[in-house]
Amino acid sequence: MRKLFLTAAFVFGGTVAAMADDIIKVNTAKSVPEVMDALEAAVGNAGATVFARVDHAAGAEKVGLSIPANQVLIFGNPALGTPAMQIDPTAGLFLPLKVQAYEDENGQVWLAYEDPKETMDELDDVEKSPVIEKMRGALAKLTSVAAQ
């Protein structure tokens, strides 16, 4: 498991995003289901496709365990993913994109996602391509909109 080191904090439209190694976190005053509903709507409004919404807390309950609210949205847009895979087919290992919403031990809800530039850093040609900046921008915008 990766160790996370807090490296910087930024303010995006009233929400705080913290970058820890390659994980970007955006806080929200919404509950996990509310922020995931907002994220799912934002993804759809952006023309992307939602492939799955995974409820980790519900999964834990099924085996008699409990964790705070925790969901992951898996989504993608072929206009962004296809160019990355045209450069290097193994980019498909890192796609579609994912955003997690979870409640921490203090009750704070966060949206978290991996920075695509860091995720695909072993794929030099993909990492250096303009599509990575488009993915980064899309993730920042979608999570910012959902967090509001």
Residue with structure tokens 């391509």?
129
CA distance 74 to 8: 26
pLDDT at 10 over 80: no
pLDDT (0 to 100) of residue 127 = 86
For 27-55, the pLDDT digits (tens) are: 999 999 999 999 999 999 999 999 999 99
pLDDT at 2 over 90: no
Comparing 2-11, 47-56, 114-123, 127-136, the range with the smallest average pLDDT is 2-11
Band of the pLDDT at 132, cuts 50, 70, 90?
Answer: very high
In the chain, pLDDT over 70 holds for what percent of residues? 86
Element (H, E) at 29: none
CA distance 117 to 135: 9
Helices (H) and strands (E) in the chain, counts: 6, 7
Band of the pLDDT at 14, cuts 50, 70, 90?
Answer: very low
Q: Mean pLDDT over residues 95-117, rounded?
A: 96
Q: Mean pLDDT over residues 108-116, rounded?
A: 97
DSSP character for 56? Answer: H
pLDDT at 13 over 60: no
Q: Mean pLDDT over residues 68-84, rounded?
A: 95
Q: Mean pLDDT over residues 9-16, rounded?
A: 40
